[in-house]
């Protein structure tokens, strides 16, 4: 019987991932966990309070619930990581080490760990960035995620643990807001437009970053989870993205629906982070090895975001 633990299940991706996994494997096959308590109920999911910096607690949850597979989504993102680097180190590096070590001891089948464009740095080629390239990030988030990628490889090669992952770009979604990353503007801008507010953007108007819509992010996680192991040439180093845009480009795309919408730019510390990240990614390994194929282009993303945010923000 499959029983999947999702860590960080109250975060931007975790929340929606739990629903997707339940739709596929049944609700009783999913155990959601987070360091926070669910504010608005657990959505009918079994919930375990879990701090991934506590190895003993992980071990207990794995045993108690007969966990077979793990999606390790708990992380401190780039912007909050710069506000509290020590916490980012503990959650992202110690937390990932604990997950891998307890998974190995418990004989877990598959461990899925998302990585990020945050692993790249100023010396990485900025356009069509390949999977295997220079990794010299300058954020604590990036440093801990490079560490996670290398640890995953180590556990795979030394112990035969089945660890898989991909490097997400900025993820656009409307259900749960992102928890303080550098790419959050691409979500915030929609909330402002739909609520008839002007937007003050913390990145410069011509800063291009790779992005992707949530349904494609979820689909790719599950595709990777279900892929046959022999086909996977990489561990966590699969770059994925659907498109790239600048703040100015997304602004103009939104203005097609909201011609009155206005934007101003006031770059802060996140601009410096964004400048060390790729403008676009080469995703061919993900396409070839496990069939990565995003369905949402920028126009479909914008239309769907506006449609859903209107339902949530305007009609209630």
**By CB under 6 A, is residue 129 in contact with ligand SER?**
no
Beta-strand relationship, 209-213 and 243-245: antiparallel
Q: Answer positive or negative: Cα dihedral of 11, 15, 21, 26.
A: positive
C-beta of 6 vs 161, nearer to ligand SER: 6
**By CB under 6 A, is residue 96 in contact with ligand SER?**
no
> 232 vs 41, 227, 284, 289, CA distance in Å?
37, 8, 13, 6
Q: Could you tell me the strand order of the sheet in which 162-164 lies? A: 46-49, 30-34, 4-7, 69-72, 110-112, 162-164
Task: Determine the size of the site formed for ligand SER (CB under 6 A).
Answer: 11
**By CB under 6 A, is residue 144 in contact with ligand SER?**
no
**By CB under 6 A, is residue 121 in contact with ligand SER?**
no
Q: What is the C-alpha separation between 316 and 310, in angstroms, rounded? A: 9
Active site residue 154: no
Q: Which two tokens stand for residue 35?
A: 């360091």
C-beta of 42 vs 275, nearer to ligand SER: 275
**Least distance from ligand SER to the Cβ atom of residue 41, Å:** 27
- Position among 8, 95, 118, 165 found at the interface with ligand SER (CB under 6 A): 118
Task: Kindly state the DSSP code that residue 128 receives in the 8-state scheme.
Answer: S
**By CB under 6 A, is residue 181 in contact with ligand SER?**
yes
Measured N-to-C along each axis, helices 95-106 and 55-64 cross at an angle, to the nearest 10 degrees, of 40
User: What are the backbone dihedrals phi and psi of residue 43, each rounded to the nearest 5 degrees, phi first?
Assistant: 65, 25
Among 141, 155, 174, 199, which one carries the catalytic annotation? Answer: 141
Q: What is the C-alpha separation between 108 and 103, in angstroms, rounded? A: 5
**By CB under 6 A, is residue 168 in contact with ligand SER?**
yes
**By CB under 6 A, is residue 241 in contact with ligand SER?**
no
**By CB under 6 A, is residue 170 in contact with ligand SER?**
yes
- Position among 182, 276, 283, 301 found at the interface with ligand SER (CB under 6 A): 182
**By CB under 6 A, is residue 45 in contact with ligand SER?**
no
Query: Which residue numbers are catalytic?
Result: 141
Residues forming contacts to ligand SER in the complex (CB under 6 A) are: 77-78, 116-118, 141, 168, 170, 181-183
């Amino acid at each position: 019987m499959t029983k999947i633990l999702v860590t960080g299940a109250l975060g931007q991706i975790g929340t929606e991932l739990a629903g997707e996994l339940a739709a596929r494997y049944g609700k009783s096959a999913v155990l959601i966990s987070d360091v926070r308590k669910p504010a608005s109920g657990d959505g009918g999911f079994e919930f375990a309070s879990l701090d991934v910096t506590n190895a003993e607690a992980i071990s207990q949850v794995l045993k108690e619930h007969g966990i077979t597979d793990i999606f390790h989504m708990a992380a401190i993102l780039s912007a909050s990581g710069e506000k509290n680097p020590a916490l980012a180190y503990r959650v992202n590096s110690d937390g990932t080490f604990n997950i891998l070590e307890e998974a190995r001891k418990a004989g877990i089948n598959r461990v899925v760990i998302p990585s990020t464009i945050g692993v790249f740095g100023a010396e990485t080629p900025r356009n069509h960035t390949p999977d295997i390239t220079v990794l010299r990030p300058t954020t604590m988030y990036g440093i801990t995620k490079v560490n996670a990628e290398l640890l995953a490889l180590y556990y795979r090669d030394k112990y035969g643990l089945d660890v898989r992952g991909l490097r997400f770009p900025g993820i656009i979604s409307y259900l749960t807001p992102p928890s303080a990353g550098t790419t959050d503007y691409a979500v915030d801008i929609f909330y402002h437009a739909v609520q008839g507010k002007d937007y003050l953007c913390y990145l410069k108007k011509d800063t291009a970053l790779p992005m992707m819509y949530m349904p494609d992010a979820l689909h790719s996680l599950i595709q990777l989870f279900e892929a046959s192991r022999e086909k996977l040439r990489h561990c966590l180093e699969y770059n994925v993205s659907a498109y790239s845009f600048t703040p100015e480009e997304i602004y103009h795309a939104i203005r097609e629906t909201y011609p009155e919408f206005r934007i101003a730019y006031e770059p802060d510390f996140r601009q410096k982070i964004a400048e060390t990240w790729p403008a676009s990614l080469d995703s061919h390994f993900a396409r070839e090895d496990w069939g990565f194929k995003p369905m949402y282009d920028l126009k479909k993303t914008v239309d769907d975001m506006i449609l859903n945010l209107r339902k949530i923000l305007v009609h209630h």
